[in-house]
Structures are given as structure tokens and as C-alpha cells.
Amino acid sequence: MNSSCSDSNNLRLIQNNLKSDTTSITKNDISLNDTFFLLKRNFPTLKANYQHYVYKTTEPNFYDLLKPRFCEKDFTLINHPYTNPIWKNYRYKVPIGDIPTKWTEVLFYENEYYLKYPSDFCNLKQKIISDSCLISITCEGPIPSKITKISRLNNKQYLLILGFDEDNQKRTTITIIDTVRGIAVWHSGENEFNLFADTDRFKNIPIAKADCNRSKCPYELKSQKLDYLGLIND
């Protein structure tokens, strides 16, 4: 966020515009260069009182930090696809084709899409598609799921088939709903939907960055309800 956001006059402006403990604020209410506040919440406790802010920003360094990455050393012996014995007969490569390979979580809030930038990255969903695994980035390290097939269903949909054999497979459909910004609905299972953005195109999406007067906020901003099937079938 621009340094002007810490200016005392701007802070007074913010405080004057926050009418309640949970307040949604639009760009017309508070505008500070490229940043404006989306949400402010107070969470009083017996021991302390702290603030939770979520603000919209387009600062370039935050985009770089949202690109999912991992190192080989981050795999444990249990989840490493090339050292765990259960993987030994499944080391063939799957053709990737033109599917985007790095994805980070997207929020839908007050009729706009945002990249999620949480105070605690344990609360951020990210995926990497390799030629052998769908890798989920978690606090416990990267967790791989074996990819047995990647196919393109049409000009906006991809299908991932995960699992080691036909009796233990899971299907994930990726539907691109915004080709310019790389936003997609991931559908896994009957009612499991998630919004992700292709990190090669996500710089056209603003960031919703969480902040508070502690290192981590206990609650993160969540997406509002969406008609995911409607987006997929549109």
C-alpha cells in the first residue's frame, strides 16, 4: 500500500468513514492513490482489541508473491512422487498441452473478482499442474495428486483425471470464465467449487490484501455466494 496510507490525515479520514464494527466501503468513500479499503472489522477480546482491514491494491510486488512455487526439498518422503514407493510404477509423463500450470485463489466480493492475499498464507489455496501431478500448496508442504490424463473438452474447459487406477480416480473440471484475466471455476466432486486465476494473466485482477495490527488475522475475507454452475454453463 502506498506510504500515504499511514499519514495521520488519511487515518483520520478512514476512522471517520468507519461507522460500525463491520463496514463495507466503496471506492467513492475512501480513495488513496491506487488503494481503497473494502472492509474493516473490530474483534474485541478480553485481552486485546485489534483491527482487521482488507483493502484493494494493485502493487506489483504483491503479484510476484502470489505466484505459487515449491522446491524439491519441500517434499517429504511420504508425499514425494519420486521417492515414495507407491509412485514407483506411475512415473510416466502426461502431455500437458496448453493448460495453464500455476493457479492462485480468487475471491468474489461485492460484484468484483479479487486475488486473495491473506494475512496467513496457510489460508490461501494454490495449485501447480506438472507433467505427473496436481500439486496443492499447503502449510504442510506441497501435496501431490497423481494426474493420469489431461484433456481439453472445448475452447474454455479442461479435464484432469487424478488417481493411480480406474478404481480410485477423481475428476476435476477447469472452466475458464474470463479469458483476459485468466479466472476459472474448478469443479471437483458434486459440490466442491473453487475460483482460481492463471498467474500468467492475473495482473489484470486487483488484490484484496488482508492486514491487521498483528502478524496474522484470525479471520480472512471469504467469497460471497456465486452460481458456479451458471458460470460454468454460460
Over residues 168-207, the pLDDT tens digits come to 789 999 999 999 999 999 999 778 999 999 999 999 999 9
HSE (CB half, 13 Å, CA atoms) of 159? Answer: 11
CA dist 162 and 183 (Å) reads 22
How confident is the model over 95-151, as pLDDT tens digits?
989 999 999 999 999 999 999 999 999 999 999 998 888 999 988 888 899 899 999
> Which positions ≥6 away from 120 have C-beta within 8 Å?
216, 217, 220
CA dist 133 and 70 (Å) reads 13
Per-residue DSSP letters for 50-72? EEEEEEEE--HHHHHHTS----G
> Which positions ≥6 away from 5 have C-beta within 8 Å?
32, 35
CA dist 223 and 113 (Å) reads 9
